[in-house]
Amino acid sequence: METAQRYVELFNANRMGDMGRLFAENGLWVPPNDNPPTRGRDAIVAGYESLAEQTASMTFTDARYYQDGNVAIVELTSMTPDGPVGRVADVFECNDAGEILRMTGYSHTPRA
């Protein structure tokens, strides 16, 4: 669960590259949108860094953490200064060293 908590802290600090460095060398990131999954720490770091400007004003709030062994699930709300954007659930599968082997994101954005 420490890795999931660190991931949220880094997102809220807009330290996107550091988020990517939480992944194992051959980790897999499955984003909560139509973008294809990304494999490999270097590619994941680059992918997260490309999002830094777009997510600069966004934060995660109301985080709820659940853990079973090396799997953690985080439910949270994505917020901008204008208010909530939507709900997110991230599923982290980690190795014993706490590196992310696979992170799958799910999101729900309410209709206007």
Residue 93 has pLDDT above 70, yes or no: yes
Reported as a single tens digit per residue, the pLDDT across 39-86 is: 999 999 999 998 888 777 888 989 999 999 999 999 999 888 888 888
The domains found in the chain, sorted by start residue, are: 2-108 (3.10.450.50)
Q: Which long-range contacts (CB under 8 A, 24 or more apart) does 69-72 make?
A: 70/94, 70/95, 70/96, 72/1, 72/3, 72/4
pTM of the model: 0.89
- Whether the CA torsion 62, 1, 108, 20 is positive or negative: it is positive
